[in-house]
Amino acid sequence: MATKPPVLDMFRRVLPGIDTRDRELYNRLSDEERKGFGAWLIMRYMSSAENVDSGVIEHYLMMTNDIVNTNFSDVKDPEMMWKLMTIVGCGRVVKHPYVAPPKGKRKKESAFKSWLRDHYPHLDDQELDIWIEGLDKKSARNLLEQFQVKDKDVISSANDL
């Protein structure tokens, strides 16, 4: 009878390895355990911490976002991702409850943002958001007038700024 392949133990190996900054843990994993290495799921757990010290809780949330989540999809090497995760560790083991992603559908993008995306394809989501935050109704209307936009949905969502 075939035996089950070893599963990477999130609570006994992975999270304690991050907490104690064990940079070589990934290299010690078997090939089967490496298959179970899911950076996104690990990041969900490590970003939350339960501790009496609110500084520890803030540390894990902020550092995970700043170090690991920033450009998350650009890091293709799992060993490099592991090393980034160990930077977040505080040196001692803490409890990490799971934080489920939000349920339901994502908020639909505004017609104005969609129009901006079509006309400025070189801008990414973050740049578009920053630009939109800096606009007021008048400047958004002026921009749409310059481009002679007649689409009522675009004009209406620009007026919602």
pLDDT digits (tens, 9 = 90+) for 69-87: 988 989 999 999 999 999 9
5 domain residue, yes or no: no
How far is 140 from 155, CA to CA, in rounded Å?
9
- The pLDDT, as a whole number, for residue 83 is 97
Task: Give the pLDDT band of residue 4 (cuts 50, 70, 90).
Answer: low
Does the structure show a pLDDT above 80 at 101? no
* Lowest-pLDDT range of 56-60, 105-109, 152-156: 105-109
Residues whose CB is less than 8 angstroms from the CB of residue 42 and which lie 6 or more positions away in sequence, other chains included: 10, 14, 15, 18, 85
Tokens at residue 24, please?
Answer: 């070589």
Crossing angle of helices 137-146 and 152-159, in 10° steps, is: 160
Same domain, yes or no: 34 and 70: yes
Same domain, yes or no: 80 and 123: no
Does the structure show a pLDDT above 60 at 36? yes
Q: How many domains does the chain have?
A: 2
Please state the separation of Cα 97 from the chain's center in Å: 17
Does the structure show a pLDDT above 60 at 153? yes
- The pLDDT, as a whole number, for residue 116 is 92
| Average pLDDT of the chain to the nearest whole number | 89
20 domain residue, yes or no: yes
Q: In the chain, what percentage of residues exceed pLDDT 70?
A: 94
Does the structure show a pLDDT above 70 at 106? no
Write down which residue in 73, 88, 103 finishes a domain: 88
- The pLDDT, as a whole number, for residue 134 is 87
How far is 26 from 78, CA to CA, in rounded Å?
8
Same domain, yes or no: 83 and 123: no
Same domain, yes or no: 24 and 68: yes
Residue range 56-79: mean pLDDT, rounded: 93
Tokens at residue 92, please?
Answer: 């001692």
User: What value, to the nearest 5°, has the Cα angle with vertex 85 and ends 84 and 90?
Assistant: 115
Same domain, yes or no: 82 and 46: yes
102 domain residue, yes or no: no
Q: Please, are residues 117 and 127 in contact by the beta-carbon 8 Å criterion?
A: no
Same domain, yes or no: 132 and 66: no
How far is 69 from 62, CA to CA, in rounded Å?
10
Same domain, yes or no: 47 and 83: yes
Crossing angle of helices 78-88 and 39-46, in 10° steps, is: 0
Does the structure show a pLDDT above 70 at 11? yes
103 domain residue, yes or no: no
Q: Please, are residues 94 and 51 in contact by the beta-carbon 8 Å criterion?
A: yes
Same domain, yes or no: 153 and 116: yes
Domain around 20: 10-88
Write down which residue in 25, 56, 88 finishes a domain: 88
Q: What is the pLDDT of residues 41-51, one digit of tens each?
A: 899 999 999 99
101 domain residue, yes or no: no
